[in-house]
């Protein structure tokens, strides 16, 4: 009998899982949000926001299965039944949840937040619609003054893209060393050195209130500084998003084979930005990068095929995919995840290569202009753990 698998989400992880399962002869139904064109989210800032691409040019190829555009509202873990926006219900032999993440927004205590959002002068930068909103606002003022609230990779990369495009950009970050929690302090300090000659940076500060005027937005920081722009972009990272009953901010915890720990033995898997991993003996973490989400989608598919008796055991999922971003003419590259509790070891100062270790085990790499070194070092990641599997 052919097994049927439901896949929720057609981004990096969902598309990879679909391709792998479809190629193995499994019947797949792939769900996207109602009215959504599955797209490559990495192009929201690099393509659409800066006017290089129209949203349809960032569309993803369909992976061999025509998606069902009907948002999954809820999952019944017991029966593996999904309830759809249209009111329909479908039951599956297995499910892969690949619903990704949503952008964190500014706290609601920030006075004036909702008015700034309503007028389009305050936006996140996550969906294609966000990209179009930024593009259209930039087109009204050339050069535009853009405030970027956040210090992670999307904030840094967007500051660099907009500066290169001739806009007057300011970065506002809560941390004194933006990005340190995501990529470790050594690489984050180097990034800061790259930003500072290029544009204003208000560090160690956060927004206290926002005032929207007919032609601009003014953000008042917690030290009283007032910064004005045509547009303010919030890039405060992401939180996982999943259908009920797992809509909370904690995402979907998974085991070493990406099986959902919320529903053990129910053949429900999670991959990509929604999945929460547990490295042996250490803290939980998520990896919200494109190539790693793709790798997780493929791994979840293999684990599922294994559990259905159709494939070999893919063994423990260990993150080794690389990610890279261009920032002010330099390439920040990394692999793995520097989870809480990692120590850092600088292997090379110039170009910078930092190894993040849990005890003696290298679990992540970050480097600047160190693409070759990172690739040379990749086989060392998790090596001892992999040998014990």
Ligand X SMILES: Cc1cc2nc3c(=O)[nH]c(=O)nc-3n(C[C@H](O)[C@H](O)[C@H](O)COP(=O)(O)OP(=O)(O)OC[C@H]3O[C@@H](n4cnc5c(N)ncnc54)[C@H](O)[C@@H]3O)c2cc1C
Give the nearer residue to ligand X in terms of CB position, either 44 or 268.
44
Separation of alpha carbons 332 and 157, rounded Å = 10
Among 3, 6, 14, 328, binds ligand X (CB under 6 A): 14
Q: Which x/- pattern, by CB under 6 A, does the window 225-264 give for ligand X? A: ----------------x-x---------------------
Among 28, 125, 227, 327, binds ligand X (CB under 6 A): 125
71 near ligand X (CB under 6 A):
yes
Which residues have a Cβ under 8 Å from the Cβ of 327 and sit 6 or more positions away? 156, 157, 159, 160, 191, 194, 195
* Residue 55 DSSP label: G
Give the nearer residue to ligand X in terms of CB position, either 206 or 296.
296
Nearest Cα to Cα of residue 296 among 27, 14, 72: 14
Query: From the centroid of its chain, how far is CA 387?
Result: 29
Which phi and psi angles does 374 have, rounded to 5°? -60, -45
Among 3, 5, 7, 8, binds ligand X (CB under 6 A): 8
Q: How many residues bind ligand X (CB under 6 A)?
A: 35
Separation of alpha carbons 128 and 54, rounded Å = 9
Q: Specify the stretch interacting with ligand X by CB under 6 A; choose among 40-48, 208-216, 259-267, 306-314.
A: 40-48
Strands 200-203 and 207-212: unpaired
160 near ligand X (CB under 6 A):
no
Number of H helices, E strands in the chain: 10, 26
Find the shortest distance in angstroms from Cβ 173 to ligand X: 17
Strands 284-285 and 275-278: antiparallel
Contact in structure between 116 and 217 (CB atoms under 8 Å): yes
Q: Which of residues 83-122 bind ligand X (CB under 6 A)?
A: 98-100
Q: Which of residues 319-358 bind ligand X (CB under 6 A)?
A: 323, 325
Which residues have a Cβ under 8 Å from the Cβ of 306 and sit 6 or more positions away? 257, 312, 313, 314
Q: Which x/- pattern, by CB under 6 A, does the window 281-310 give for ligand X? A: -------xxxx-x-----------------
137 near ligand X (CB under 6 A):
no
Find the shortest distance in angstroms from Cβ 208 to ligand X: 26
Find the shortest distance in angstroms from Cβ 349 to ligand X: 25
Contact set with ligand X (CB under 6 A) = 8-14, 31-33, 36, 38, 41-42, 44-45, 71-72, 98-100, 125-126, 154, 241, 243, 272-273, 288-291, 293, 323, 325
């Amino acid at each position: 009998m052919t097994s049927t698998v439901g896949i929720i989400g057609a981004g990096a992880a969902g598309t990879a899982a679909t391709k792998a399962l479809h190629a193995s002869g499994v019947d797949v139904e792939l769900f996207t949000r109602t009215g959504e064109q599955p797209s490559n989210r990495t192009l929201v800032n690099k393509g659409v926001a800066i006017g290089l691409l129209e949203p349809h040019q960032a569309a993803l190829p369909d992976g061999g299965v025509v998606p069902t555009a009907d948002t999954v509202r809820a999952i019944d873990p017991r029966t593996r039944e999904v309830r759809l926006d249209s009111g329909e219900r479908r039951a599956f032999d297995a499910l892969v949840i690949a619903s990704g993440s949503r952008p964190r927004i500014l706290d609601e205590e920030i006075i004036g937040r909702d008015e700034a959002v309503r007028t389009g002068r305050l936006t996140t930068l996550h969906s294609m619609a966000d990209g179009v909103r930024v593009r259209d606002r930039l087109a009204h003022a050339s050069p535009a003054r853009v405030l970027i609230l956040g210090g992670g990779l999307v904030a840094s990369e967007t500051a660099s893209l907009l500066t290169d495009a001739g806009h007057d950009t300011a970065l506002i970050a809560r941390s004194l060393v933006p990005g340190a929690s995501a990529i470790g302090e050594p690489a984050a300090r180097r990034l800061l050195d790259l930003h500072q000659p290029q544009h204003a940076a208000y560090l160690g500060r956060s927004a206290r209130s926002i005032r929207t005027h007919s032609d601009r937005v003014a953000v008042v920081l917690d030290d009283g500084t007032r910064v004005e722009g045509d547009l303010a972009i919030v890039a405060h990272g992401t939180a996982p998003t999943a259908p009920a009953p797992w809509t909370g901010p904690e995402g979907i915890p998974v085991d070493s084979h990406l099986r959902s720990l919320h529903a053990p033995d129910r053949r429900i898997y999670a991959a990509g930005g929604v999945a929460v991993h547990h490295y042996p003996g250490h803290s939980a973490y998520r990896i919200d990068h494109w190539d790693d989400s793709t790798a997780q989608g493929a791994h979840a598919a293999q684990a599922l095929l294994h559990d259905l008796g159709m494939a070999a055991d893919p063994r423990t999922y260990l993150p080794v995919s690389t990610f890279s971003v261009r920032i002010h003419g330099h390439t920040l590259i990394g692999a793995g995840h520097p989870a809480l509790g990692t120590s850092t070891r600088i292997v090379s100062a110039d170009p910078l290569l930092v190894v993040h270790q849990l005890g003696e085990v290298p679990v992540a790499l970050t480097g600047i202009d160190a693409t070759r070194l990172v690739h040379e070092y990749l086989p060392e990641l998790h090596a001892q753990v992999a040998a014990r599997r």
